Amino acid sequence: MDFASGGFVSGNIAITSLLILGLIGASSKARILDAKGIIAAALLGFLVGCLGHWTWLLLLLAFLLSSHVATKWRFDEKAALGLSESSDGHRGWINVAANGGMPALVAILAFALDDWKNGLWMFGASVAVATSDTWASEIGSLDNRVRMITTMKPCKAGINGGFSPNGQLAAASGGLLIGLCSLIAGIIMFNNSVTDTAMNAAMVAGIGFLGCQIDSVLGAVLENRGFLTKGSVNAISIISGVLIMWLYLGQPM
C-alpha cells in the first residue's frame, strides 16, 4: 500500500479516513468544534487528505489542536475581559472555512496540476499563517504592552491591529510549529533529507509570522473601519502567505 504518494491512492485514502474519524471523535469529546464546525472540518479534511496528502491533514490537525490549547489558555480571564470568541472556547464552521478554505483550495490545485511537491510548501504556508495569527491573538491578548501596528502608539488589548511582545513571540512559535510539521511531511512524501527540505520549511515558518503581521495591518486599516470582517481578514492574510510562497518557489502551479 502506497503511503507516500498524494491523491487518490489506497494508502492515502486509508490514513486520511482514520485521521478524520479521530478528528470527529476528539472534537466531539473535547468541544474543539461545534456540530457545524465538525461537519465543515470533516469535509475540508477529506479534500485536503485525499486530494493532497494525509500529512497535509496532519498539518491542519496541528493547527486545530494547538489553537484549541491556545484558546483554552487562561480562558476565564479572556472571557471576563470580552476577548474570547465563544462562550466555552469552541469554534464554528465560519472559523473553519476562514482558516481552512485556502489550504483546501491549494490541495485541489495540487491534485489538478499533479504537483504535490510545490503544493506541500504552499499548503504549509497557508496553515502557518492561520496558526501564527491564532496563537498571537489568543496568547497576546492578555499582554497589556499593546501597540497599534500602523502607528506604534499604545492601544487597548484585543483591538484589531494591536500587537504585543507576547503575541509576536506566539506568532513566531506558531509558524515554527507548522514549519517543522512541513519539514516532516516533505521527508515522508518525497524521501528527502532534512537538508533538502530545511530551507522551504524555514520559509513556511517565516511566512507564518509575516502573514500574522499582514493580518494585523488589514485589521487596523480595513476591519476597524468596517470594510472587512474578521473572517475575510483571516482569508486574505492566508492567501497572501500562499502567494509569497508561490513567488519564492518560482513555479507555475
% of the chain surpassing 70 pLDDT: 96
CB-CB contact of 143 with 157 (8 Å): yes
Q: Structural domain of residue 217, as residue ranges?
A: 55-85+95-249
Identify the burial level of 47 via C-beta atoms within 10 angstroms of its C-beta, where 0-12 means exposed, 13-18 middle and 19 or more buried: buried
| pLDDT at 76 (0 to 100) | 81
- The string of pLDDT tens digits covering residues 185-230 is 999 999 877 777 999 999 999 999 999 999 999 999 999 999 999 8
pLDDT band at 4 (very low <50, low <70, confident <90, very high): confident
Beta-carbon neighbour count of residue 222 at 10 Å? 17
Lowest mean pLDDT among 36-45, 118-127, 232-241, 243-252: 243-252
CB-CB contact of 110 with 49 (8 Å): no
Beta-carbon neighbour count of residue 247 at 10 Å? 9
129 closest CA partner among 248, 215, 57, 218: 215
Q: Which three cell numbers stand for residue 107?
A: 490541495
Is residue 219 situated within a structural domain?
A: yes
Is residue 75 situated within a structural domain?
A: yes
Is residue 12 situated within a structural domain?
A: no
Is residue 164 situated within a structural domain?
A: yes
The pTM of the full predicted model, rounded to 2 decimals, is 0.93
Report how far apart, in Å, the C-alpha atoms of 70 and of each of 25, 84, 136, 150, 204 are.
20, 11, 9, 26, 20
Q: Which three cell numbers stand for residue 169?
A: 513571540
251 closest CA partner among 119, 123, 127: 119
Is residue 22 situated within a structural domain?
A: no
Count: domains in the chain = 1
Is residue 228 situated within a structural domain?
A: yes
Is residue 13 situated within a structural domain?
A: no
Q: Which three cell numbers stand for residue 68?
A: 484549541
Question: Both ends of the chain: CA-CA distance in Å?
Answer: 28
